[in-house]
Structure 1
Amino acid sequence: MDAFELDHRLANDSISIMRTGLCDLRLSKDCRWPWLILVPRRADITEIFELTPLDQVMLTFETEMVASALKKVTGAAKINVAAIGNIVRQLHVHVIARFEGDANWPGPVWGFGKPEAYDDAKRDQLIETLREALTS
């Protein structure tokens, strides 16, 4: 098995905010939604069922941990969790905070409009707040 390497599209579209036990936790650069991405640090994995049973449990645990923290930090009306991977095949799990009245509510976030960049200060504050929520 080859060493883990992050897909270039995930690297370009998000920034790493921390490592969990299994995953690289990343923040999407699109500020229209607080959007986190969990990428298991395992090489050549495209599906959840390809993970070992222990890694499957870890991914479930980390997804719940991240979703709970994101809801607490943002006060979102709904947290969307998905592992689709039709374009980027590398296994990754989206955890997205949704709000009534947000861009394309209640429709899906994928393929809607053009991404909008974060203001650096707002991005950094969100990252710090998320890190605190996830480590306390």
Structure 2
Amino acid sequence: MQNLIIYENSKIYIEKENSEIPWLKIFTKEPYKELGDMPKELRLQLWDVYDIVEDEMKKYYKPTKINMASFANMLPRVHIHVMARFKEDSYFPNPMWGERKRDAKLTLPDENEFFKRVLVALQKVN
């Protein structure tokens, strides 16, 4: 199942990860292997996008914690995971790749409204 792309410009795109929690992944279109391989301007743009996604995620979902990750071992290209975590989610406090702690049934607000908010916030800076 292909993940939904919720935002795209000439250098970056944002994909929704299929998960019980709000989880977005920010990719560069050019497949750089490491952050240090990227031009500085693009790194700054990537972090600006990350800041916006994190801020909108915190305001909209009011999670217990925001997790961010950038392992890129399985997919060896720059991308950043941004995850809204809740004490009640299936894995908390473990990482989403860790051991499941419980079967969760989270009741979260409409994700499409969240996507709209992210797009509006991104348009203000682009």
- Same fold by TM-score, threshold 0.5 exceeded? yes
Give 1:73 shift: 1.4
| 2:35 maps to 1:48 | yes
Deviations 1:81-135 (A, max 9, x none): 111111111211000000112111000101556xxxxxxxx99x41343222441
Runs of 4+ residues over 3 Å off in structure 1: none
> Mapping of 1:94-113 within 5 angstroms?
94-110=81-97, 112=99
Q: Give the conservation status (yes or no) of the 8 Å contact 2:91–2:98.
A: no
2:14 aligns with one of 6, 10, 25:
25
Q: Which residue of 1 aligns with 2:112?
A: 127
Q: Normalising by structure 1, report the TM-score.
A: 0.74
Task: For 1:48 and 1:15, locate their aligned partners in 2 and report how far apart those are by CA, in whole Å.
Answer: 24
Q: How many residues are treated as equivalent by the alignment?
A: 114
Equivalent residue for 2:25? Answer: 37
Which is bigger in relative contact order (C-alpha 8 A, separation at least 6)? 1
Task: Give the alignment's Cα RMSD to 1 decimal.
Answer: 2.2
Percent of aligned pairs sharing the same letter: 24
Q: Secondary structure at the match of 1:97?
A: strand
TM-score scaled by length of structure 2: 0.79
Mind listing any 5+ residue stretches in structure 1 that lack a counterpart?
Answer: 1-11, 114-121
